[in-house]
Amino acid sequence: MSTITLSTAERRRPVVADAALTAFARGGYHGTTIADVAAEAGISPAYVFKLFSGKDALFVTALELCFEQIGAALARGADGAADQSPTGVLDAMGGAYADLVRDRTLLLLQVHAQSVAEIPEIGQALRTGIGAVTSFAKRRSGGDDEAVQRFMAYGQLCHLLVTAGIDDQAGDWAAILSRGIRHPD
């Protein structure tokens, strides 16, 4: 059995990707510099440029990591669903997603990605991630298109409720939007 030895760059790439996810979630695309990501990763900005061709590539990598984590959480939710009907699986996946985004990092990165989706590489990575989540929800739940659309729509509504602080608002309108939706505290 042979042992594969990773280069320093290969070992650092995932660390920098994770740091990019955190830094971009905190500051957004426009408010985050390569130096911010480097500081988060504990390396020099020059080393970040050695690993990634630029800010767009770094943001795309962070977004891909975000969607990988989302996919893993949805799979855990689906696998753990007590009710394996389409509705039961989709509900369990929704609960797993709500638990995952409790710390808001992944949620905020997605919101920031939506705000700069006109950048071709970022827009494509965002669409690819959303497509993967939608396809997984359809395939794993066995739900019809309408059920999967509703699942995705509730996810986006959950984003709005959390990021806009609608839970803290009084009024019928806030109660209408948040009724029946489980989302992070």
| 15 in a structural domain | no
| 76 in a structural domain | yes
| 66 in a structural domain | yes
| 82 in a structural domain | yes
Which ranges constitute the DSSP H helices of 28-182? Answer: 34-41, 45-51, 55-79, 86-100, 105-115, 120-141, 145-163, 172-178
175 vs 35: CA distance, rounded Å? 42
Task: List the domain range (segments joined by +) for residue 88.
Answer: 56-178
C-beta separation of 45 from 38 below 8 A: yes
| 6 in a structural domain | no
C-beta separation of 90 from 138 below 8 A: no
Give pLDDT, residue 8: 77
pLDDT tens for 23-37 read 999 999 999 999 999
| 20 in a structural domain | no
| 21 in a structural domain | no
What are the 10-residue block averages of pLDDT along the chain, 185 residues in total?
61 93 97 97 93 96 97 97 96 91 90 97 98 98 97 89 84 88 59
Which ranges constitute the DSSP H helices of 32-54? Answer: 34-41, 45-51
Give pLDDT, residue 2: 57
| 137 in a structural domain | yes
Tokens 């920031």 found at? 112
Hey, what's the torsion of the CAs at 134, 84, 160, 120, to 10 degrees? Answer: -10
Number of alpha carbons in the 13 Å side-chain half-sphere of residue 58: 32
Q: How many domains does the chain have?
A: 1
